[in-house]
Amino acid sequence: MTTLPTPPSFSLVGKTALVTGASSGIGQGCAVALAEAGAHVVCAARGMGRLAATVDEMTARGWSAEALQLDQGDLEQLAGALDGRPFDIVVNSAGAALPKPAFETEPADFDQVMNVNLRSAYFLSTWAARALKEAGKRGSIIHLSSQMGHVGGMDRTVYCASKWGLEGMIKAMAIEWGPYDIRINAIAPTFIRTPLSQVTLDRPDRAAWIREKIKLGRVGEIEDIMGAALYLASDASGLVTGTSLLVDGGWTAD
């Protein structure tokens, strides 16, 4: 008799997740995807206004969620949020771009982007993984990277540097934490229609360049990222670590 393999589960029932940057955009979409799959989601962001509204709407739909006001760039706050709390899933969606030519980049611009995109991501990962290790638990850490962590882009020198650094960091951490069954990966989207990207999409020359580069011929939507987040959070990706899942419409295919 043939024994058929059992499909992996995408269910997150019984799991606890932390999602940063959860008050809007991709972070909000990831929080919704994980909550709909059954996880209890701690939604974190700097401001409580939109964050509270997000959580209210999520709980009104019967999902389990709570709000956490958190400035991820404040490492003392970040350490306090993770101390002794081993989240099964961590999704880091907080990010900064500040697009401008390299010649016009000031040290303060560089520091702002690096502090959010790389420095805070490093310590978020380390402290989340340490809490899991000390609790003897497996887990999944997911960073929102970018296709710009694989290619270059106009007016995005500092942003590219931060995302290439993030991708290298993830590979090294995956090697270190693999023995503890702690997985760490990235989602690397193309331009997704969010408040962060709108400043670029509103420029006709940049919008034309973007649509030319995306082989599927359209800008991404938040819903395009939600499935990737659920996959990497769930047991369906149990053998996936140290990699980057490109959701770029074919931008990097050539």
Choosing from 100, 122, 163, 231, the catalytic residue is 163
**In the annotation, is 213 catalytic?**
no
Choosing from 159, 171, 213, 231, the catalytic residue is 159
Q: Is residue 34 part of a domain?
A: yes
Position 85 scores a pLDDT of 92
Q: What is the mean pLDDT of the chain?
A: 95
Domain of residue 102, residue span: 16-247
Nearest CA to 100 out of 149, 151, 156, 24 is that of 156
pLDDT tens digit sequence for 163-180: 999 999 999 999 999 999
- For the record, the structure tokens of 171 come out as 């590979």
Residue 134's CATH number: 3.40.50.720
Q: Is residue 145 part of a domain?
A: yes
- Taking the mean position of all CA atoms in its chain, how far away is CA 175? 20
pLDDT tens digit sequence for 58-67: 999 999 999 9
Cα end-to-end distance, the chain, whole Å: 46
**In the annotation, is 163 catalytic?**
yes
* Domains held by the chain: number: 1
Q: Across the chain, where does the E strand assignment appear?
A: 16-20, 40-45, 65-69, 89-92, 139-144, 182-189, 244-247
Position 154 scores a pLDDT of 85
Q: Is residue 253 part of a domain?
A: no
Q: Is residue 5 part of a domain?
A: no
pTM assigned to the model: 0.95
Position 111 scores a pLDDT of 96
Q: Residue range 9-27: average pLDDT?
A: 97
pLDDT tens digit sequence for 45-91: 999 999 999 999 999 999 999 999 999 999 999 999 998 899 999 99
Report the C-alpha gap between 209 and 200 in whole angstroms. Answer: 10
Q: Is residue 254 part of a domain?
A: no
Angle, nearest 10°, between helix axes 120-135 and 157-177?
A: 20
Q: Is residue 11 part of a domain?
A: no
